[in-house]
Amino acid sequence: MTYEQRIALAKAWMKEEISPRFALPKGMNSTILIEDILEAVNSRLPNGLDPTAYRAALTRVRKVVVEKARGRTLPPVYDFANAAADAGRGARGGPAPSTAGPQETNEERNLRLVAQAIKERRPIGDTWLRHERRKELLDHTDVTEEDLAPYERKLVDDDPFFE
């Protein structure tokens, strides 16, 4: 397919599958925003796809973008570009992006990584030992009070107030 054919398919996809799902952000030039999204998506999908494969890749992009959207305002170009890169890998025969199950949030990831560090007795920030952050660790991970005890002793040993 030529560039013009790919962009024509992408425009139709945008009109039929994306525009009905999202409102345009206020204060943005909609023409420029849509052109940027189309260019980002097109540039990340592999060349040499036939129209059927290109449409299938666009459908995978839509699924990922819709799944990861945080609201009903059109997501940023970056989200479309990442989804297209993932869909492009799937179109080349690599692993397609998973749309099954919820994705891990940044907060869940932070909790998981800090819990892992605690289990491995690696250093962590002392904010994780206090108040709400401590409660989050205890409530949402497999960290126990016993796991935190060595960190408590270290915190007291390092604090000049306790000398």
Distance CA 18, CA 11 (A): 10
pTM across the whole model: 0.55
Angle at 70 between CA 65 and CA 71, to 5 degrees: 100
- For 52, the token pair is 């059927």
> Are the C-beta atoms of 23 and 71 separated by less than 8 Å?
no
- CATH number for the domain formed by residue range(s) 3-91: 1.10.8
In which residue ranges of the chain is CATH 1.10.8 found?
3-91
Rg (CA), the chain: 23
- HSE-up of residue 22 (Cα within 13 Å, Cβ side): 24
> Are the C-beta atoms of 91 and 44 separated by less than 8 Å?
no
> Are the C-beta atoms of 22 and 74 separated by less than 8 Å?
yes
Cα dihedral: 94, 96, 98, 100 (round 10): -120
| pLDDT, tens digit only, all 163 positions of the chain | 899 999 999 999 999 999 999 998 888 888 999 999 999 999 989 888 899 999 999 999 999 999 988 888 999 898 999 899 888 776 554 444 444 455 677 888 888 899 998 888 888 887 888 888 889 889 988 999 999 888 777 655 555 544 4
The pLDDT value given to residue 97: 46
> Are the C-beta atoms of 25 and 73 separated by less than 8 Å?
yes
State pLDDT tens for residues 21-36. 999 888 888 899 999 9
